[in-house]
């Protein structure tokens, strides 16, 4: 099979986890077909999506007759399957650091800020919108500070998170910054992060992957 043939990504334009996978697909130059689900309307909670996705979550990538769930394993699979444009470093120590930076976004920031958590805060807990915003910015600021500290621990060897070319870390970081802006977090304290964002967003792959470029963007 030729690279990318038959790749279908179950996605939602605003899902930052789906955005990570879209960046990876675009960086690798793969052709892919979007299957959009309107998360804000709860479309992914119905029987139709549950039959496709045991977790009931976006993204899900159909590839090689498989249905892969969770952004991290999807990107790791793509990296092993299409190694021409590597997104993970080859050596184990560097690979561990790359994964740790990606996990910082995936485990420490994003889970506290995704749609169903905000809905719980607003609905079940009845929090006013101002307190929901404060909650969002608290976890995002704390996580980005950790990210900035670790990035600065290693001298920059290029414009991207890990050096001269984009990697899995940029796939995770950039979508989180889109979210941060939506919730009006001040990104001024994170100079290295902002430099990386500028470099990434100058690339067509990131432009094509961003929410506003998606067919389901409303």
Applying CB under 8 A, the residues found at the interface with a second copy are 54-57, 64, 66, 68-70, 72-74, 76-77, 80-81, 92-93, 95-97, 99-100, 103-104, 106-108, 110-112, 117, 120, 124-125, 127, 131, 135, 138, 146, 149-150, 153
Sort strands 66-69 and 60-63 into parallel, antiparallel or unpaired: antiparallel
Q: Give the residue with the Cβ less far from a second copy, 138 or 208.
A: 138
The least CB distance from residue 127 to a second copy, in Å, is 7
Three-state secondary structure call for residue 83 = coil
Structure tokens at 170: 């940029």
Sort strands 8-11 and 60-63 into parallel, antiparallel or unpaired: antiparallel
The least CB distance from residue 150 to a second copy, in Å, is 4
The least CB distance from residue 45 to a second copy, in Å, is 11
Q: Is the peptide bond before 59 cis (omega within 30 degrees of 0)?
A: yes
The least CB distance from residue 81 to a second copy, in Å, is 7
Q: Give the residue with the Cβ less far from a second copy, 22 or 110.
A: 110
Q: Give the residue with the Cβ less far from a second copy, 64 or 129.
A: 64
Contact in structure between 52 and 67 (CB atoms under 8 Å): yes
The least CB distance from residue 149 to a second copy, in Å, is 5
Q: Give the residue with the Cβ less far from a second copy, 77 or 203.
A: 77
The least CB distance from residue 95 to a second copy, in Å, is 8
Three-state secondary structure call for residue 60 = strand
CA distances from 84 to 62, 81, 104 (A): 20, 9, 26
Q: Give the residue with the Cβ less far from a second copy, 97 or 195.
A: 97
Q: Give the residue with the Cβ less far from a second copy, 125 or 217.
A: 125
List, in order, residues 6 or more apart from 96 with CB less than 8 Å away: none
Backbone angles phi, psi at 122, to 5 degrees: -75, -45
DSSP code for 106: I
């Amino acid at each position: 099979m030729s690279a990318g043939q038959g790749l279908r990504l179950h996605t939602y334009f605003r899902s930052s986890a789906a955005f990570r996978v879209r960046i990876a697909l675009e960086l690798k130059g793969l052709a892919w077909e979007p299957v959009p689900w309107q998360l804000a309307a709860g479309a992914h909670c119905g029987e139709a999506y549950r039959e496709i996705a045991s977790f009931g979550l976006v993204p899900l990538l159909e590839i090689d007759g498989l249905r892969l769930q969770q952004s991290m394993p999807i990107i790791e699979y793509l990296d092993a399957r299409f190694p021409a444009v590597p997104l993970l470093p080859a050596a184990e120590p560097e690979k561990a650091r790359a994964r740790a930076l990606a996990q910082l976004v995936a485990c420490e920031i994003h889970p506290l800020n995704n749609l169903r958590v905000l809905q719980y805060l607003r609905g079940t807990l009845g929090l006013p919108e101002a307190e929901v915003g404060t909650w969002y910015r608290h976890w995002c600021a704390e996580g980005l500070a950790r990210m900035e500290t670790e990035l600065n621990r290693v001298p920059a060897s290029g414009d991207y998170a890990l050096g001269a070319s984009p990697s899995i870390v940029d796939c995770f970081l950039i979508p989180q910054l889109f979210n941060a802006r939506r919730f009006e977090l001040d990104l001024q304290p994170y100079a290295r992060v902002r430099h990386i964002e500028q470099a990434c967003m100058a690339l067509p792959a990131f432009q094509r992957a961003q929410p506003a470029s998606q067919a389901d963007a409303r």
